[in-house]
Amino acid sequence: MIKTPKHSEGSSDPIQGWDEKKARSTVQSLAKGFRVLESFTAENDELTLSQIAATADLDPGTTFRMLNTLVDLGYVSRIPESRRFALTLKVLDLGFHAIARTDLRSIVRPILRSL
């Protein structure tokens, strides 16, 4: 079962509801690209173009171009025999960089003190 990620209160579109100033200072294409990436979950790790388009609330043409870009960059792979797409391990690089700069002790200390 495909689930639409919740990006904001009751909306699958994180840009919906932004004020005009915020909308002008953002790159909507980048937001759409992240919606494509966020379509993949542990339960839905291989998706067709139409499933991704529906989950990301994008038209198939835009989804196709986003996926081609993400494939070229190495973040998504094509699974030719099933016409599906999947995330690659390259997406972990982004998370590992965030983890590496995080001081785990400062995060855990208040939790341990409350025990």
Select the CATH number that applies to the domain covering 20-88 from these four: 3.20.20.70, 1.10.10.10, 1.10.340.30, 3.40.50.2300: 1.10.10.10
- 59-77 pLDDT, tens digit each: 999 999 999 999 999 999 9
Confidence (pLDDT) at 47: 98
Burial (CB count within 10 angstroms: exposed 0-12, middle 13-18, buried 19+), residue 67: buried
| C-alpha distances out from residue 10 to 7, 14, 37, 76, Å | 8, 10, 20, 28
**Mean pLDDT across the chain, nearest whole number?**
85
Could you report the per-residue pLDDT of 25-51, keeping only the tens digit for each? 888 999 999 999 999 999 999 999 999
Q: 90-105, pLDDT tens digit by residue? A: 999 988 888 888 887 8
The pTM (predicted TM-score) of the whole model is 0.70
Annotated domain spans of the chain? 20-88
What is the Cα–Cα distance from 60 to 53, expressed in whole angstroms?
A: 6
Strands (E), the chain: 46-48, 76-79, 84-87
| Greater pLDDT, 28 or 22 | 28
